[in-house]
């Protein structure tokens, strides 16, 4: 039986392939294979019933050769240090591929946020910052929201940091609410960024976007705006979206004979990206099992939920019509499935390129906070589009020139940029 790799081993194996191709020396390769440093901590939180519960938190800083570490904080019941390490490494490549002057980091906490009251959530967020505040900061490491964390939580975390530091430091964290030093367009950034890369890939593949249909897994922050953007920017149709249902403890796929109306579905979706099943059925949506999205007869698949969803079990269910997969989620494809996608000639926009829109607008948020001068939505979206478009073509050009798979091409672009900074700084 094939050995199942954990996310960090997958991230290391992907890097190893790029390192071999680039002929990296041993020291450079070894630095990149491991986090620069990592923090593990416990967070005691007074719960609403008066008892203290202890949560486990992490922050991993992978590489800061190109700038301060940058990456989200995930609140998830199954969070592990190896997931956080993998995601921190992928952040290094993500910031490099869109050519923003930041490195890679990631944080986490082992908790199901849906089980906490608002007060408990706020105390946990403040506790997370209390434990790590001396090791993060605008010139060291800048967290942001990710799975299970929200704008409001970023607002509490910024406030706690400012309280501890004794001064106003909005740039310690991004993804804050607009009105509390957040940026216009941050909420939509990742999903719309995915769509900008799909638009460019369609040009490269001679696909007519208005004739294309997509199936999306996930209807959280990324899935919602990918679904909205697929219609708004490309004129295409969304056949289905899927989500986890906390009440029924299972996932469902929602499709509609006229296509998904993502803006309408948003009005019946909670803050965790769960669609209200009864209300969706009343609107004429067909409800199927959670994995139905992957076998839909569509042109484009957009996994926008969890890691490992396109795997040895599911990859052969992908319809022959699928030409393009945009990895909106982090690590949605396992190594075995990746091989099958390559053999079938499906064009994959790899995760750290496809979903780099979020960190790009986070970077814009930092720039605006530093200048204390905020841009309008149009300016943010124009700059996001420019960054995503040039990142896509840098990777596509590498893919064509070197005749390598797009994932390796993205690695080659990013790793080269990081290694150049390491060399220029005299690390190796």
What distance in Å separates the CA atoms of residue 178 and residue 180, rounded to the nearest whole number? 5
Please answer whether residues 423 and 22 qualify as being in contact, where contact means their C-beta atoms are separated by less than 8 angstroms: no
Q: How many CB atoms lie within 10 A of CB 283?
A: 14
Using CB under 6 A as the binding rule, whether residue 251 contacts ligand NAD is answered as: yes
Which residue reads 């001068």 in tokens? 373
What distance in Å separates the CA atoms of residue 324 and residue 364, rounded to the nearest whole number? 29
* Binding test (CB under 6 A) with ligand NAD, winner from 192, 230, 244, 254: 244
Q: Which residues are catalytic?
A: 106
Q: Give the list of residues 6+ apart from residue 276 with CB closer than 8 angstroms, or none.
A: 268, 269, 270
Q: Roughly how many angstroms between the first and final C-alpha of the chain, as a whole number?
A: 39
Minimal distance, residue 200 CB to ligand NAD, in Å: 18
Minimal distance, residue 414 CB to ligand NAD, in Å: 15
Enumerate residues 125-144 that contact ligand NAD by CB under 6 A. Answer: none
Which residue reads 């209300």 in tokens? 279
Q: How far is CA 66 from CA 53, 97, 131, 311, 314, in A?
A: 38, 12, 26, 33, 37
* Binding test (CB under 6 A) with ligand NAD, winner from 35, 107, 273, 350: 273
> Of 355, 380, 368, 353, which is closest to residue 174 (Cα–Cα)?
368
> Of 103, 153, 102, 104, which is closest to residue 129 (Cα–Cα)?
153
What distance in Å separates the CA atoms of residue 191 and residue 239, rounded to the nearest whole number? 17
**Smaller CB separation from ligand NAD, 242 or 334:** 242
- Compose the 167-196 pattern: x for residues touching ligand NAD by CB under 6 A, - for all others: -----------------------x------
**Smaller CB separation from ligand NAD, 19 or 326:** 326
* Binding test (CB under 6 A) with ligand NAD, winner from 220, 229, 236, 369: 220
Return the bridge partners of 73, or none: 107, 145
Please answer whether residues 142 and 174 qualify as being in contact, where contact means their C-beta atoms are separated by less than 8 angstroms: yes
Minimal distance, residue 273 CB to ligand NAD, in Å: 3
Minimal distance, residue 25 CB to ligand NAD, in Å: 31
* Binding test (CB under 6 A) with ligand NAD, winner from 113, 143, 223, 369: 223
Minimal distance, residue 8 CB to ligand NAD, in Å: 15
* Binding test (CB under 6 A) with ligand NAD, winner from 45, 116, 147, 302: 147
State which residue has the least CB distance to ligand NAD.
220
Minimal distance, residue 356 CB to ligand NAD, in Å: 8
**Smaller CB separation from ligand NAD, 113 or 127:** 113
**Smaller CB separation from ligand NAD, 65 or 326:** 326
Minimal distance, residue 53 CB to ligand NAD, in Å: 22
In the sheet with 347-349, reading across from the earlier edge strand, the strands are 286-289, 250-255, 237-245, 213-217, 300-303, 324-326, 347-349
**Smaller CB separation from ligand NAD, 332 or 369:** 332
Would you list the DSSP string of 2-55? PPPPPHHHHHHHHHHHHHHHHT--HHHHHHHHS-SEEEEEEEEEE-TTS-EEEE
Which residue reads 């509609």 in tokens? 256
Enumerate residues 29-88 that contact ligand NAD by CB under 6 A. Answer: none
**Smaller CB separation from ligand NAD, 127 or 358:** 358
Which residue reads 């002929």 in tokens? 23
**Smaller CB separation from ligand NAD, 9 or 404:** 9
> Which residue stretch of 11-19, 60-68, 220-228, 368-376 sits at the interface with ligand NAD (rule: CB under 6 A)?
220-228
Pairing relationship of beta strands 237-245 and 250-255 according to DSSP bridges: antiparallel
Q: Which tokens belong to 125?
A: 């967020």
Minimal distance, residue 357 CB to ligand NAD, in Å: 7
Minimal distance, residue 315 CB to ligand NAD, in Å: 16
Using CB under 6 A as the binding rule, whether residue 222 contacts ligand NAD is answered as: yes
Which residue reads 């956080």 in tokens? 84
* Binding test (CB under 6 A) with ligand NAD, winner from 221, 255, 334, 360: 221
Q: Residue 127, exposed/middle/buried by CB under 10 A (0-12, 13-18, 19+)?
A: buried
Enumerate residues 291-330 that contact ligand NAD by CB under 6 A. Answer: 304-306, 328-330
**Smaller CB separation from ligand NAD, 79 or 146:** 146
> Which residue stretch of 106-114, 200-208, 217-225, 384-392 sits at the interface with ligand NAD (rule: CB under 6 A)?
217-225
Q: Which tokens belong to 288?
A: 């199927």
Interface residues with ligand NAD (CB under 6 A)?
Answer: 146-148, 190, 217-223, 242-244, 251, 273-274, 290, 304-306, 328-330, 355, 358
């Amino acid at each position: 039986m094939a050995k199942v790799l954990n996310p960090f081993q997958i991230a290391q194996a992907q890097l190893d392939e790029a390192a071999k191709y680039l002929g990296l020396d041993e020291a450079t390769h070894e630095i990149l294979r491991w986090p620069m440093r990592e923090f593990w901590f416990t967070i005691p939180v007074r719960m609403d019933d008066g008892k203290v519960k202890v949560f486990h938190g992490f922050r991993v800083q992978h590489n800061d050769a190109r700038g301060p570490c940058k990456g989200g904080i995930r609140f998830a019941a199954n969070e592990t240090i190896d997931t956080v390490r993998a995601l921190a490494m992928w952040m290094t490549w993500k910031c490099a591929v869109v050519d923003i002057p930041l490195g890679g980091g990631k944080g986490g906490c082992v908790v199901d946020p849906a089980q906490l009251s608002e007060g408990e959530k706020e105390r946990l967020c403040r506790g997370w910052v209390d434990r790590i505040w001396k090791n993060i900061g605008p010139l060291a490491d800048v967290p942001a929201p990710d799975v299970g964390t929200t704008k409001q939580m970023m607002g509490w975390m910024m406030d706690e940091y400012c309280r501890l530091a004794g001064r106003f430091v909005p740039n310690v964290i991004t993804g804050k609410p607009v009105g509390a030093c957040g940026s216009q367009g941050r909420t939509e950034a990742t999903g719309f960024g995915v769509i900008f890369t799909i638009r460019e890939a369609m040009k490269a593949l001679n696909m007519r976007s208005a004739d294309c249909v997509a199936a999306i897994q996930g209807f959280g922050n990324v899935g919602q705006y990918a679904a909205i953007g697929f219609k708004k920017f490309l004129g295409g149709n969304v056949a289905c979206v899927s989500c986890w249902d906390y009440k029924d403890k299972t996932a469902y796929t929602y499709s509609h004979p006229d296509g998904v109306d993502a803006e309408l579905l948003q009005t019946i979706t909670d803050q965790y990206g769960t669609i209200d099943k009864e209300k969706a059925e009343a609107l004429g949506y067909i409800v199927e099992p959670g994995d139905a999205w992957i076998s839909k007869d569509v042109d484009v698949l957009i996994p926008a939920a969890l890691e490992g969803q396109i795997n040895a079990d599911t990859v052969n269910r992908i319809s022959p019509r699928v030409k393009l997969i945009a990895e909106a989620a982090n690590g949605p494809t396992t190594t075995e499935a990746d091989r099958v996608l390559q053999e079938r000639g499906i064009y994959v926009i790899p995760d750290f390129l496809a979903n780099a829109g979020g960190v790009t607008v986070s970077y814009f948020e930092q720039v605006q906070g530093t200048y204390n001068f905020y841009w309008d939505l149009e300016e943010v979206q124009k700059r996001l589009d420019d960054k995503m478009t040039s990142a896509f073509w840098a990777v596509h050009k590498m893919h064509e020139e070197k005749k390598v798979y797009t994932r390796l091409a993205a690695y080659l672009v990013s790793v080269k940029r990081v290694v150049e900074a390491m060399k220029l700084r005299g690390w190796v």
